Amino acid sequence: MARPKKAPEVEPATEEVAEVPATEPTPEVEAPEVEPATEGEDQSRYETFEATRPDGTVVEICRNLDTGEQTVTEKQ
Protein backbone atom coordinates (compact mmCIF):
# COMPACT_ATOMS: atom_id res chain seq x y z
CA MET A 1 0.00 0.00 0.00
CA ALA A 2 1.40 3.38 -1.02
CA ARG A 3 1.80 6.11 1.53
CA PRO A 4 0.14 9.46 0.81
CA LYS A 5 2.53 12.22 -0.17
CA LYS A 6 3.37 14.73 2.51
CA ALA A 7 2.26 18.32 1.83
CA PRO A 8 5.15 20.75 1.36
CA GLU A 9 6.07 22.97 4.28
CA VAL A 10 4.63 26.47 3.97
CA GLU A 11 6.11 29.49 5.67
CA PRO A 12 3.70 31.72 7.61
CA ALA A 13 2.84 35.08 6.07
CA THR A 14 5.01 37.93 7.27
CA GLU A 15 2.99 40.87 5.88
CA GLU A 16 0.51 42.62 8.15
CA VAL A 17 -3.06 42.78 6.93
CA ALA A 18 -5.04 45.93 7.65
CA GLU A 19 -8.33 45.35 9.41
CA VAL A 20 -11.16 47.03 7.50
CA PRO A 21 -14.86 46.87 8.40
CA ALA A 22 -16.83 44.62 6.06
CA THR A 23 -19.47 47.26 5.36
CA GLU A 24 -19.91 50.97 5.74
CA PRO A 25 -22.29 52.05 8.50
CA THR A 26 -25.69 53.04 7.19
CA PRO A 27 -26.59 56.67 7.84
CA GLU A 28 -29.62 57.11 10.06
CA VAL A 29 -32.76 58.10 8.18
CA GLU A 30 -35.85 59.59 9.73
CA ALA A 31 -38.96 57.46 9.29
CA PRO A 32 -41.79 59.13 7.38
CA GLU A 33 -44.71 60.30 9.47
CA VAL A 34 -47.72 58.04 9.18
CA GLU A 35 -51.18 59.14 10.13
CA PRO A 36 -52.92 56.59 12.36
CA ALA A 37 -56.19 55.14 11.10
CA THR A 38 -59.28 56.75 12.53
CA GLU A 39 -62.14 54.85 14.10
CA GLY A 40 -64.19 52.89 11.58
CA GLU A 41 -61.38 53.05 9.00
CA ASP A 42 -60.10 49.70 7.71
CA GLN A 43 -56.69 49.02 9.27
CA SER A 44 -55.64 46.26 6.86
CA ARG A 45 -52.58 46.51 4.64
CA TYR A 46 -53.08 46.46 0.87
CA GLU A 47 -50.92 46.19 -2.22
CA THR A 48 -52.15 47.26 -5.64
CA PHE A 49 -50.43 46.52 -8.94
CA GLU A 50 -51.15 46.09 -12.64
CA ALA A 51 -50.79 42.83 -14.53
CA THR A 52 -51.46 41.68 -18.09
CA ARG A 53 -53.60 38.63 -18.77
CA PRO A 54 -52.51 36.14 -21.46
CA ASP A 55 -55.10 37.66 -23.83
CA GLY A 56 -53.46 41.11 -23.47
CA THR A 57 -56.05 42.67 -21.14
CA VAL A 58 -54.52 44.94 -18.50
CA VAL A 59 -55.99 44.43 -15.03
CA GLU A 60 -55.45 46.02 -11.63
CA ILE A 61 -55.03 43.63 -8.71
CA CYS A 62 -55.70 44.82 -5.16
CA ARG A 63 -54.62 42.34 -2.47
CA ASN A 64 -55.27 42.55 1.28
CA LEU A 65 -51.98 41.47 2.84
CA ASP A 66 -53.61 40.54 6.15
CA THR A 67 -56.45 38.34 4.88
CA GLY A 68 -55.21 37.30 1.44
CA GLU A 69 -58.41 38.52 -0.20
CA GLN A 70 -57.86 40.02 -3.65
CA THR A 71 -59.93 41.78 -6.28
CA VAL A 72 -59.21 42.02 -9.99
CA THR A 73 -60.61 44.87 -12.09
CA GLU A 74 -60.04 45.56 -15.79
CA LYS A 75 -58.19 48.80 -16.58
CA GLN A 76 -59.75 50.91 -19.33
User: What local confidence, expressed as pLDDT, does residue 37 receive?
Assistant: 59
User: Taking the C-alpha atoms of 71, 73, 75 and 76 in order, what is their torsion angle to the nearest 10 degrees?
Assistant: -160
| Whether the Cβ atoms of residue 71 and residue 62 lie closer than 8 Å to each other | yes
User: What local confidence, expressed as pLDDT, does residue 42 receive?
Assistant: 64
> pLDDT tens digits for 33-63?
756 656 655 677 889 999 999 999 999 999 9
Would you say the pTM of this structure is higher than 0.75?
A: no
DSSP state of 57: -
User: What local confidence, expressed as pLDDT, does residue 50 receive?
Assistant: 92
> pLDDT tens digits for 5-42?
887 887 777 777 777 767 777 777 776 675 665 665 56
What pairs with residue 70 in β-bridges? 63
- Residue whose C-alpha is closest to residue 59's, from 46, 68, 72, 47: 72
